[in-house]
Amino acid sequence: MNEIIEKAKDHFEKIVREQLDRVDKLKSEEDWTDYSILKPIIIGIVNGDGIGPIITKHAKIIFELLLQDEIRNGKVELRVIEGLTIENRVKVMKAIPEDVLEEIKKCHVLLKGPTTTPRKGDKWPNIESANVSMRRELDLFANVRPVKVSNLGIDWMFFRENTEGAYVLGSKGINITEDLSVDFKVITTQGADRIIRLAFDYAKKNNINKVTVVTKANVVKATDGKFLAIAEKIAKEYPEVKWDDWYIDIMTAKLIDPARQSQFKVLVAPNLYGDIITDEAAQIQGGVGTAGSANIGKRYAMFEAVHGSAPRMVEEGRSQYADPSSIIKAAALLMNHIGFIEKANKLEMALDICATYEKKVVLTGRDTGVTGEDFAKYIMESLQDPNLEEKWKSYQ
C-alpha cells in the first residue's frame, strides 16, 4: 500500500513541478505577432491524415487563387509540411515528430488538416493528440469558433480555453491500482485571465453587449471555481459589456432552446466544456463538416476544421465525398487573422452562396451527392464571379 501511494505521490509531484514552471513561463509572455510588417508571412499547410489531405488540398488551391498577388510579390509563402500522419507519428511514438515540429515552428500561421488520436481499442498505440500537443507547443491558448445560423438569429463566437483544463494532462493520468484511476485538470490564474480577457475584448471591439461564461463551478470547485472568479473580476473592467454565467449541463440544453438561442453572443469556457458546446453549436449550424476554427496564440496561430479525420468515411471508401467547407472556412479565418480581411470576406460569401443559398451542387457525404472536389470547383467559380458581392447581398 505504502509503495503504491509513494508512486502516486511521485507522479503528482512531477506534474505539479511542470505546471508551476508553466505558470512562470506564462508570467513572462511575449507580444502579439504583427503580420503587417512580416515578409514573407509563411503559411504552413499541414495535411494531417484520414480525410485530412483530401479536404486540405482544396483549401490550398483556394489560397493559390486568392493570394496569387501576395505569393508573386513575396508577401506570402505557402509551405506544405508533410509527416503529421498517424502512421509517421506512431513510427516515432510522438504526438508531433521532432522534424515536423521544427518545420511547423518556422511558419507564422498554419492551416491544419485533422489528425487521428488513438483511443482505447484502436489499432494504434496510445500517443497524445497532435492537436493537444500543438496547442501546448505553440501556446495556442484560444480556440475561437464562429457559429452563424441567420434564420435562427444565431451569431455566436466561442472562446474555448485551449491549453489547460481537463486536456492538458489528458495522457498523464494514473492507473494507481487495477481498480483506481485518476486524471488531472488544471486551471491557472494566467491561463484563465488571458482567454476571458480575449472574449471580453472581442465583445467590446465588436460592440457586442454580452459575454457568457460556462463552467461547472458548483461541483468542480477548485478549477472551475477559479475560472468563474477570474471572470467576475475581469467583467468589472468592462462595465459596458453585460455578462452572465451558466453551468455546462444546462448550457448544452439552452443552446438548442429557440427561446434562448439568440440571446447568447460571445461565450467563453474552459477546454472540455468549450469542446462540447462548440461541437453542439457546429451541429446546429449544419454538421461538423461545415465548421472551421481558429487556434490563436500571441506568436503562432493555427486554423483547422472542427471535425476529425473521419476514419469511417475512409474505411467505407467515401473520402472523396468529404465536405471541404470546414477547412475552407478555416482558410477564411486564417486570411482574416493575418490581415487579408477583404479576401476572407469574399471567401465567406462564396461559401455562403454555394452551401446555403444557391446550392447548384450538394454534398451528402456519399455518392448520392457531389464529391468534395466538385464542390471546391463550385466555390472557385463563385469566387471568380465579378458579381459575387451583389449576388450574396441579394440573398440577405
Residues that bind ligand NAD (CB under 6 A): 51, 55, 114-117, 131, 288-289, 304, 307-313, 322-323, 326, 365
- Rounded Cα distance, 230 and 224, in Å: 10
Q: How far is the CB of 35 from ligand NAD (least distance, A)?
A: 23
State the nearest-atom distance from the C-beta of 275 to ligand NAD, in Å: 9
Give 215 or 309: the residue with its C-beta nearer to ligand NAD.
309
Task: Give CA separation, 230 vs 167, 184, 197, 214, in Å.
Answer: 20, 21, 10, 12
What is the C-alpha to C-alpha distance for residues 143 and 14, in angstroms, rounded to an integer? 28
Q: Is the Cβ–Cβ distance between 273 and 143 less than 8 Å?
A: no
Identify which of residues 163 and 309 has a Cβ nearer to ligand NAD in the complex: 309
Cβ-based nearer residue to ligand NAD, 114 or 146:
114
Q: Kindly write down the DSSP assignment for every residue of 221-257, as one continuous string.
A: TTHHHHHHHHHHHHHTT-TTSEEEEEEHHHHHHHTT-
In the complex, minimum distance from the CB of residue 284 to ligand NAD, in angstroms, rounded to a whole number: 15
Minimum CB distance to ligand NAD smaller for 117 or for 133: 117
- Complex with ligand NAD: residue 143 or 382, whichever CB lies closer: 143
Long-range contacts of 390-394, Cβ-Cβ distance < 8 Å, separation of 24 or more: 391/353, 391/358, 392/349, 392/352, 392/353, 392/357
Residue bearing cell 505558470: 23
Distance in Å, CB of 133 to ligand NAD, minimum:
11
Q: Hey, what's the cell of 248? A: 455546462
Question: Nearer to ligand NAD by C-beta: 168 or 203?
Answer: 168
The CB-of-264 to ligand NAD minimum distance in angstroms stands at: 23
| Min separation Cβ 364 and ligand NAD, Å | 9
- Nearest residue to ligand NAD by CB is 308
Q: What's the rounded Cα separation, in Å, for the pair 154 and 75?
A: 36
Q: Which helix (H) or strand (E) holds 294?
A: strand 292-296
